[in-house]
Each structure stands twice: as structure tokens, then as C-alpha cells.
Amino acid sequence: MTNSDIFYPPRNFAGIPSPICDLETARVVVSPVPYDSTTEYRAAGRSGPQAIIDASMDLELFDMELGREAHWMGIHTSSELQPSMLGPEHQVARVRQAASWVLEMGKIPVMLGGEHSLTLGMVQALHERVPDLTVLQFDAHADLRDEYLGTKYSHACVMRRVLELCPIVQVGIRSMSQDEHRLLVEKKMHPFYAHDLKLDEKSLERIVSGLGPNVYITIDLDVLDPSVMASVGTPEPGGLSWYQLLTMLRAVTKKRQVLGFDLVELCPREGPYACAFTAAKLAYKLMGYIT
């Protein structure tokens, strides 16, 4: 009898064993970041990354749509990134440093949050290396406030900070402040709002055509309708369905180079276990699409 016969496997994403999960050979590096200091409605996002990894243990590794076991690309799960007590700006800097380390090794970075403010660190690390980067945001909220609750690094400001670095394309939006609406008008930005989102060939082409050749994808899980994803900090009715989101992701990954992505804002205590599993499956699907 060996140790593997009596101990649970390491908490790698999807329970992927060595050598497939080894850092040296893996193509994807999953980084859990349990941080939620700027959320103000239902703050439990710090539990999200571990809940996603735990739920991923129940995934079927064979992807019916792709017709293959996508995990053979190699998926390494790093240790959790420790939270900084100095404030969100410092936590963003930690994410940037961790993402830079992944990129220097030639790997694809995948971050599991935590709150949405963390996305800025991922984008900063990529933007340093890829000047023509575009960020594709799936979200219920515009997240374009200049400042919120005394900080410019709130989850409600993350896309305003990203917009200062590179172009963004927003999909699934259905909630914003008046100031955010004014900014969209001033900058002549046209989000793909949830209420009139169509998924015909023409509409998908409009989404893709707004992106440059190199893309980073950020998915706030509240982009999904609460009937699909109840476990989020700021739920909004009228969101996307599972297959709507997958259709758009597949269209983008077929025509653009996706350099990394994140899933953020899962609050596992606010809903059923199915939500954590949905997030895990979404992460695995997108890994398969981009590899």
C-alpha cells in the first residue's frame, strides 16, 4: 500500500495528478486569490477560490463539446496568494507580481478570485508585455466608477483603472450609476447590454471585431442570471444563461489569442454547492477553449 492509497490527492484543480499538474510541464497555472476587502453588500468572496477548487474535484475531465480530455494540457495549481493588510492597491500589486512570475515562465495565467479589483493586477502584468492588449469583461455591472467608498481600487472601479491601460469590451451589463453612464457616452463606448444581447452570427462578430488580436478575459460570475449563479456578492436579475456565455467564449477563442483569464466574485455561502461547481466547470471549459 502506498501513500496515494490512503491519503486524499493534493487540492490541485480537478485533482489532476503529477506529472500533468507539475509546474515545469503545465501550460496553465491556476492562482487562487482569497481577497474581498472592498466588497460591501455580501462579502464572502475570499472563500470563492477554495470552493471552486474543491468543486473541481467532481468534474468529468472529458469535455463532450471538445471531444477530448482538456486537462492533458497540464494545469498547475499554485498556493493561495496571501492578502495584504495595507489595502487593495497593495493587493493588486501582489497579483501583478504573481502574474508576472507566471508569464515569465511562458504559462497561461488563470486567477480565481476573490473580488473583482484583483483583475487589475493581472491586466497590468500582461499589458507590460503585450501593448495591444484588449480586455473582454463579462459582468452585470459596469465597474467604471472613478472612486468608491474612499478608494480608486475598489471592485466597483476596476474597469475604470483597466480602461486607463487598454481598450475594454463589456458584455452582459445591466446595472450602472449615472456617472458611469456619462463616461460611456463621453467615450462613445457601447457595451453589449444583457437586455438586448443576441447571439446570431452578426452579433457574435460585433463582439469579436471590437477586440484586438490579444485578449484577456475577466468573468465576474454575476454576469450569469441568479437562477444559474446565485452565489455572488451583488446579484442582478436578467443575466446570461450558461449556453449564452459559452457561445460567446467559444466565438472569441476561435478568432482571437486569449492570453489568460479570471473568474471572480463567487460567494459560496450565498447559494448552493451547484454554483461552485458551475464556476469550476466554466474555468475548465475556458481552459479547453484556449488550449
Where are the domains positioned within the chain? 20-290
pLDDT of residue 8: 64
pLDDT of residue 128: 97
Q: Each residue of 79-117: pLDDT tens digit?
A: 999 988 898 999 999 999 999 999 999 999 999 999 999
Return the H-helix or E-strand segment holding 125.
helix 119-129
Phi-psi region of 211 (alpha: psi -120 to 50; beta: other; left: phi over 0): beta
Q: Each residue of 250-269: pLDDT tens digit?
A: 999 999 999 999 999 999 98
- Give me the residue label for grid cell 468529468: 60
Q: Average pLDDT of 58-62?
A: 97
pTM for this predicted structure? 0.95
pLDDT of residue 72: 97
Strands 133-138 and 214-220: parallel
What is the architecture, at CATH level 2, of domain 20-290? 3-Layer(aba) Sandwich (3.40)
Q: Report the distance separating Cα 276 and Cα 49, nearest Å.
A: 9
